[in-house]
Chain A
């Protein structure tokens, strides 16, 4: 389906959705929202582009491989942040008590490990949305040949 209006609007809107997603991720420790909500918004913008154009256009934004790398990387980043606290002498996922700089409450760069973790979760969720979408679409194309309904 090619619809000029949908394409134009989604192309116009996508950067703003992405910016909003990033804003929500970065302000996760200051206001309602956070890694999951922001990541979902960011991922939705990429899915929107792929939906209104086609898969190739979506893949040009972020390829399937990159998305999977980011997905694993985000989760590993979370785990590593927790392990970093161990290395610093605190408990797993410890924040202030492990020596992460807490900053002043209310400022953007505050709250130590929470900001880091929110960013990692944001990356993870956004890329998961995209990989989920790609997998569903590509699965159709890839498996369609070998798994026709048996008559």
Chain B
């Protein structure tokens, strides 16, 4: 009961971990290369979610300090970090997709199993 209670209070951890595992599983086991790239993004997004959730303060405002107002702000650091993380994720995704298009041009398919088959037939 205690466990369930703490779980419901921290449900975003659970969501993040589930997303992370989904992403990792798909990335490692799925044959479709595009889906691998999507899974990579899901995995990254789960960590971004966790980070931003950690930095959130209930009822906090966007962390732009105004001299007059005296209120609670959310932690700006995770947001800034995750922006960097998103940028990094975008570049990796763009690069991975360009690789997939090149591979598609060689084989006419983006399925890893079919690619293996094509190669084994050639030998």
Question: Is there contact, CB below 8 Å, between A30 and B98?
Answer: no
Cβ of A106 to closest chain B Cβ, rounded Å? 7
Task: Give 1 or 0 for each of B66-107: 1 = CB within 8 Å of chain A CB.
Answer: 110000000000000001000100000010011001100111
Q: Which of A111-151 contact B (CB under 8 A)?
A: 132, 135-136, 139-140, 143-144, 147-150
| Contact A148/B105 with A135-B98, A139-B98 known, Cβ cut-off 8 Å | yes
A136's partner among B65, B101, B106 (CB-CB below 8 A) is B101
Question: Is there contact, CB below 8 Å, between B98 and A150?
Answer: no
| Contact A147/B105 with A30-B64, A106-B66 known, Cβ cut-off 8 Å | yes
B62 contacts A by Cβ under 8 Å: yes
B55 contacts A by Cβ under 8 Å: no
Question: Is there contact, CB below 8 Å, between B106 and A147?
Answer: yes
Main secondary structure of the interface of A (DSSP, over half): loop
Question: Is there contact, CB below 8 Å, between A132 and B64?
Answer: no
B106's partner among A31, A135, A139, A150 (CB-CB below 8 A) is A150
B108 contacts A by Cβ under 8 Å: yes
- Size bracket, chain B contacts: 10 to 19
Cβ of A121 to closest chain B Cβ, rounded Å? 10
Q: How far is it, in angstroms, between the C-alpha of A23 and the C-alpha of B73 when the chains are bound?
A: 24
Q: Which of A12-37 contact B (CB under 8 A)?
A: 30-32, 36
Determine the chain A residues whose CB is within 8 A of the CB of B94 once the complex forms. 132
Q: Which of A22-66 contact B (CB under 8 A)?
A: 30-32, 36
A143's partner among B65, B66, B87, B105 (CB-CB below 8 A) is B105
Question: Is there contact, CB below 8 Å, between B64 and A144?
Answer: no
Residue from the set B62, B102, B105, B107 with the largest chain A CB neighbour count within 10 Å: B105
Question: Is there contact, CB below 8 Å, between B67 and A105?
Answer: yes
Cβ of B105 to closest chain A Cβ, rounded Å? 5
Q: From B94, which residue of chain A is reached at the shortest CB distance?
A: A132
Q: How far is it, in angstroms, between the C-alpha of A36 and the C-alpha of B85 when the chains are bound?
A: 12
Determine the chain A residues whose CB is within 8 A of the CB of B65 once the complex forms. 105
Determine the chain B residues whose CB is within 8 A of the CB of A147 once the complex forms. 102, 105-106
Report A's interface with B, CB cutoff 8 A. Answer: 30-32, 36, 105-106, 132, 135-136, 139-140, 143-144, 147-150
Report B's interface with A, CB cutoff 8 A. Answer: 62, 64-67, 83, 87, 94, 97-98, 101-102, 105-108
What 8 A-B pairs are tightest by C-beta distance, nearest first?
Answer: A149-B108, A147-B105, A32-B62, A132-B94, A149-B106, A31-B64, A36-B87, A149-B107
